[in-house]
Structure 1
Amino acid sequence: MPAVPAYPSARTEMLVDPRFLPLADRFFSMYRHPHNGGGALVAYVHGEKVLDVWAGYADRERRWNGDTVALSFSTGKGVASTVTHRLAERGIVDYDAPVAAYWPEFAAAGKESITIRDLLTHRTGLHKVRGLVPGRLGLLDYDTVIDALAAAAPDPRRQRGPGYHAVTYGWLVAETVSRATGKPFTQVVREEIAEPLGVDEFWYQVPADQKPRIAKLFPHINPGGLDWRFTSSVLAHMGPLRGLAEAAMPDGFDELVRNPAVHDAVMPGWNGVFSARSLARMYAAIANGGVIDGTRFLKPETLEQMGAVQTRDRDYVLGIKLAWRLGYHPPILASRVQPTRGLGHYGVGGSGAYADPETGLALAFVTNRLGNAVTALGDLRLARLGAEAQEIVRS
């Protein structure tokens, strides 16, 4: 039986490089009151950790500390994508091979030519999660979801451009990886990400003894505080917003995000639980030429594949041109200057992480306060923190 890796314990002291004091000040100012919740922010520059701070409340009775982790929604897509790249550089998967070469059932309903590259760039036409499986808790049943995706017919709009797979993306990656390796996806994540990086907080199924570390999410995720079922039904019949409702608003999702059972399921498109420390370390390797602490995590040629823009077409779900990379989107900063080679993934509610190979910066932010006073779906916290960080490293 292989030895269990000895992971370093969480820091009990914060770290602030003097250059990053303005960024730390901006972060701390976000968590002055309990109704702001809590969060953590970690930054690396050229593989060196320069910031590791946290503040606020994990729940009403508990302060956020160095051990706190948070459900980070679509931030987990970036981790799932990185797993795929680790496998691709060893030839276990091929970007241009059909998904059905690894997962034969996927070929049903005209999907036999859809490739791994299509999957990583949201071009499989399987964005629809609304109505995919029966029941308000049906999404917790991994096998049922996988069978439904394998049988589903792709949306013809995939031929014209990407359509953000807001929830289904994770299952598509997980099952393809599992079929290619012959291992459960969570085991592959541990072997390909957590163990090489020496950080264990990359969870889609949270170990029972670690669940007390999870921060409590608030407020409700309902857009504008409106009833979820009513709002999603209305949006599903509105032309410009129909794709978003189909991709991101399954019935009962507002309740599901708070159901403790989500931490026992494998739903890598949205249920990843991470620390800012773990995310930052992964992206630090990407920003530093694939190397962290002298150990190669990814090859240079793999990084080139990861960062190359795959499509500039309009995304038919989001309604914008997002310049998808292979499993990542470009960082979005509150600045006139945007990273030209950056890649990462943000999540609904505010959490996210990214790497900028041009400056060597990696930044990760996790929080339990979903959005702002206007909407829980997202805000500019990470965009502003990222802009501040970029200004520091460029000065």
Structure 2
Amino acid sequence: MTSSVRASQGSVPTEMVVDQRLLPLADRFFSMYRNPQQGGGALVVYVRGEKVLDVWAGWADRDRRWSRDTVALSFSTGKGVASTVVHRLAQRGVIDYDLPLARYWPEFAAHGKSEITVRQLLTHRAGLHRVRGLLSGPFDMLDYDTVIEALANARPDPRRLNGPGYHAVTYGWLVAELVARATGKPFQDVVAEEIAGPLGIDEYWYRVPEGHRGRIAKLFPHINPGGLNWQFTSAILAHVAPTRGLAEAAMPDGFDLLVRSPRVHDAVMPGWNGVFSADAVARMYGAIANGGEIGGRRFLDPATIEESTRVQARGRDYVLAVRPNWSLGYHRPILASRVQPQNAIGHYGVGGSGGFADLDTGMSLGFVTNRLGSSLTALGDLRLARLGAMAQTLAQNWNTL
């Protein structure tokens, strides 16, 4: 029942995929991008390893329509990809979840961090959530070695002993250095070998190849909360108890300027600067949702999936002030429905992009967009939650539709 829908954008022919059973979902997606002020995006769905929806719409920039080749900066969506790299290595014994990070990265042991394990890192219990004040200035984040040295010399937050604290920005660097030390290779090279190669898609980028940067959609509006001055707002939030943890973890001075700089595509910052296509996100989670296989190839072993998707930190997160139910590098997807999936994992990003795998239905979804959030805030909205809820309902009734 899968059909192709031919479209034309300029002189380049393109082809969308819409299974008839997902027509309501496609209609909802297209309704989101009717004018340039809404930007653009792409949505891909796999069911039991088969791509059943691949659609895109809207504008990648004011004078450029979104196309099959458009990719987008997707913020924390990249944490899920980085975590999956660790799981690929763990199933071959290159990394052990229960060994201390210092076993792979000796300098990390400084200031009482010698016993922090890989498992604790992947469940945001390393106590290194603070990015605010970690470096001298925001553009220091572009220097990978400077960041790694700062994290190795940082002192862990003692609250980590009582529960998780979301490492909103630092998580990616910590995982990247773990992977680099364990393999002896640069993190981006390992991503290409462990994710892009096996899945047959190139667009898993933290450092974007020069020749592909013209494909990146322009983000808008600015990421500033409520349109307020970032420097002023972040400083205030950092001194208010209920928001202090979030400001420490996600709001370094000058971050709003860094997000808009093309220099972010020269750096490796897997906690937030991943650039992906919707198909790349959906295909990775599609392999997980399909028992570890996709395209006739084994991507993850069932035992690895069982271990990596099991909830391991149920406590209240001292940064987010909620219970995300962290598994090993993933959170439970949030859907706009009364009943939330109980056997699903993924990772969403600031602004709206994200992806997840529902292991019960065998369905995965990837969504990327350049329109950050809603008219109220650029930090997020309900687009992915609503698309995910509809996709889950359709997947649950797949054989009867």
TM-score tier, shorter chain, comes to: over 0.9
Match of 1:6 in 2: none
What's the counterpart of residue 72 of structure 2? 70
Contact 1:43 1:363 in 2 (8 A): yes
Residue equivalent to 2:113: 111
Contact 1:11 / 1:66 at 8 angstroms: preserved in 2?
no
Q: Is the 8 A contact 1:78 1:344 kept in 2?
A: yes
Q: Distance in 1 between matches of 2:138 and 2:96?
A: 36
Residue in 2 aligned with 1:87?
Answer: 89
Q: Secondary structure at the match of 2:163?
A: coil
- SS of the residue corresponding to residue 14 of structure 2 reads coil
- 1:214 maps onto 2:208 in alignment: no
**2:171 — aligned with what?**
169
**2:26 aligned with 1:24:** yes
Matches within 5 A, 1:187-198: 187-198=189-200
Letter of the aligned partner of 1:161 in structure 2? Answer: G
Distance in 2 of aligned mates of 1:290 and 1:220: 38
Identity of aligned residues (%): 73
- In structure 1, the partner of 2:379 is 377
Corresponding letter in the other structure for 1:265: A
Q: Give matches, 1:335-374, under 5 Å.
A: 335-374=337-376
User: Counterpart of 1:56 in 2: which secondary structure?
Assistant: strand
One of 273, 277, 280 as aligned partner of 1:278: 280
Q: Alignment partner of 2:41: what SS?
A: strand
| Corresponding residue number in structure 2 for 1:308 | 310
User: Partner amino acid for 1:217?
Assistant: L
SS at match of 1:109: coil
How many residue pairs get aligned? The number is 386
The one-letter code of the counterpart of 1:164 is Y
Alignment CA distance shift 1:246-1:11 (3 Å): farther
Change in Cα spacing, 1:11 to 1:204, as seen in structure 2 (3 Å) is farther
- Alpha-carbon distance, 1:136 to partner: 2.9
- Identify which of 254, 257, 262 aligns with 1:255: 257
* Partner amino acid, structure 2, of 1:320: V
C-alpha displacement at 1:12, in angstroms?
Answer: 2.0
CA distance in 2, matches of 1:281, 1:58: 22
**3-state SS, counterpart of residue 334 of structure 2:** coil
CA–CA separation in structure 2 for the residues paired with 1:144 and 1:64: 36
2:25 is aligned with what amino acid?
A: L
User: How far 1:11 moved relative to its partner?
Assistant: 8.6
1:148 matched to 2:150? The reply is: yes
Equivalent position of 1:47 in the other structure: 49
Residue 99 of structure 2 is matched in structure 1 by 97
Structure 1 residues 237-252: aligned runs within 5 Å: 237-252=239-254
TM-score (norm 1): 0.97
For residues 323-362 of structure 1, the C-alpha deviation after alignment (integer angstroms, 9 at most, x for no partner) is: 1010000010000111111000000000000000100000
Question: How far did 1:311 drift?
Answer: 1.0
Code of the aligned partner of 1:343: I
Query: How far apart are residue 381 of structure 1 and its match?
Result: 0.2
In 2, Cα distance between equivalents of 1:356 and 1:136: 37
Cα distance, 1:111 vs. partner? 0.2
- Is 1:293 the counterpart of 2:295? The answer is yes
Give unpaired runs (5+ residues) of structure 1. Answer: 1-9
Point out where structure 2 has 5 or more consecutive residues left out of the alignment.
1-11
Structure 2 length-normalised TM: 0.96
Aligned residue for 1:186, secondary structure, equals helix
Matches of 1:88 and 1:135 in 2, distance apart?
Answer: 35
For 2:100, the aligned partner's letter is: P
Equivalent position to 2:161, from 150, 156, 159? 159
- Secondary structure at the aligned position of 1:348 is classed as coil
Q: What RMSD, in angstroms, separates the aligned Cα atoms of the two structures?
A: 0.8
User: 2: distance between equivalents of 1:369 and 1:108?
Assistant: 41
Separation of aligned partners in 1, 2:312 and 2:195: 24
Question: In the TM superposition, what whole-angstrom CA distance separates every residue of 1:46-71 from its partner, at most 9, and x where no partner exists?
Answer: 00100000000000000000000000
Give yes or no for contact 1:201–1:275 (8 Å, CA) kept in 2: yes
Of 125, 128, 132, which aligns to 1:123? Answer: 125
